[in-house]
């Protein structure tokens, strides 16, 4: 495996037909802060995160993932990754250059094996952020992004080979085989996971809250607001993190979580978990059962932006 040059997950960028409705949800209900807004384009920050933004919303005719962005340690790492990907025949969207998004920095973009746009950047200015107080049920940071893949074994191999992602754990089904792979770029159990799905799309984006109390308060706020809950509250076995899944106004699944496991990477060995065992999906036994309805909601709509570079 190549040397790991990616340091962390930065943000996920979504295009949606109704920007105003999506913006209201993510600010008034979900708890993000809108900054650097323009007509039909908003950058949303998490109050506890040094990242300039963790979600970007863009008004568009088609719903899609515009971009998944990761950080690198420095400009040399960005250049090395761009050269490595280009030499391997990966389609670059842009060469390394100064970024014109909030916080600036230096980065480039490329298409992964299924056509998702990915950005790698360094030297982005740190946002003025703050400590989230006890009882404050707003996201501290973007925890992880899970993608659906029609060719998940190939997608896993792409991220392992080209970006040095490491496997933390795998979920399997006795009849259907391996179904989800948890991948890490640092000591967090996963920054991205790859799920077997009928088409490439966003499975879910997950947001870390301060602790169990804040996670439950946030879950309750969404329920009181009438937001459709898909699954939870509960605690997964893989990653040992809590989960409450909801649908945003455009049918994207979003998750509140906390206490995602931090691994000792030198000694960690990946597990193979059978998710038909109830304690694998939910150690607590408090969540509604994982079934075909729950799974289908996270299949999402087919992504209409594959191999099409986002305009921003």
pLDDT digits (tens, 9 = 90+) for 279-310: 999 999 999 988 888 888 899 999 999 999 99
Mean pLDDT of the 128-156 span: 98
Are residues 30 and 68 both part of a single domain?
yes
* Residue percentage of the chain with pLDDT more than 90: 95
Q: Identify any residues that bridge with 72 across adjacent strands, giving them in sequence order.
A: 6
**Does residue 55 share a domain with residue 13?**
yes
Q: CA-CA distance, 283 to 130, in Å (whole number)?
A: 32
* 165 and 256 assigned to the same domain: yes
Residue 251 located in a structural domain? yes
Q: State whether the Cα torsion 294-300-302-306 is positive or negative.
A: negative
Give φ, ψ of 261 to 5 degrees: -65, 140
The residue range of the domain holding 41 is 6-122
pLDDT in tens, 152-198: 999 999 999 999 999 999 999 999 999 999 999 999 999 999 999 99
Tell me the whole-structure pTM to 2 decimals: 0.97
Band (pLDDT 50/70/90 cuts) for residue 72 is very high
Rounded CA-CA distance 116/56 in Å is 16
Give how far the C-alpha of residue 55 lies from the chain's centroid of Cα atoms, to the nearest Å: 10
Kindly state whether residues 114 and 151 are assigned to the same domain.
no
Q: CA angle, 183 as apex, 204 and 90 as ends, to 5°?
A: 90
| CATH, residue 217 | 3.10.180.10
């Amino acid at each position: 495996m190549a040397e790991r040059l990616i340091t962390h997950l930065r943000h996920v960028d979504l295009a949606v037909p109704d920007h105003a409705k999506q913006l209201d949800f993510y600010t008034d209900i979900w708890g993000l802060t809108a900054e650097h807004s323009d007509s039909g384009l908003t950058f949303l920050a998490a109050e506890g995160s040094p990242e300039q933004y963790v979600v970007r919303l863009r008004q568009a005719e088609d719903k899609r993932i515009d971009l998944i962005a990761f950080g690198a340690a420095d400009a040399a790492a960005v250049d090395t990754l761009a050269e490595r990907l280009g030499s391997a025949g990966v389609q670059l969207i842009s060469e390394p250059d100064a970024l014109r998004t909030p916080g600036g920095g230096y980065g480039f973009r490329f298409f992964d094996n299924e056509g998702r746009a990915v950005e790698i950047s360094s030297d982005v200015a740190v946002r003025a952020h703050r400590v989230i107080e006890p009882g404050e049920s707003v996201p501290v940071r973007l925890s992880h992004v899970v993608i659906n893949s029609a060719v998940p074994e190939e997608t896993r191999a792409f991220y392992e080979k080209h970006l040095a992602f490491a496997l933390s754990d795998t979920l399997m089904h006795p009849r259907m085989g391996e179904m989800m792979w948890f991948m890490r770029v640092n000591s967090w159990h996963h920054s991205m996971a790859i799920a077997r799905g009928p088409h490439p799309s966003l499975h879910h984006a997950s947001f870390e809250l301060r602790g169990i109390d804040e996670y439950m308060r946030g879950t309750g706020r969404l329920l009181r607001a009438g937001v459709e809950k898909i699954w939870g509250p509960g605690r997964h076995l893989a990653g040992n993190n809590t989960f409450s899944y909801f649908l945003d106004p455009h049918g994207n699944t979003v998750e509140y979580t906390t206490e995602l496991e931090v691994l000792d990477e030198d000694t960690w060995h990946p597990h193979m978990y059978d998710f038909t065992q109830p304690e694998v999906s939910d150690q607590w036994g408090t969540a509604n059962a994982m079934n075909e309805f729950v799974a289908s909601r996270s299949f999402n709509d087919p992504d209409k932006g594959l191999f099409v570079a986002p305009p921003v």
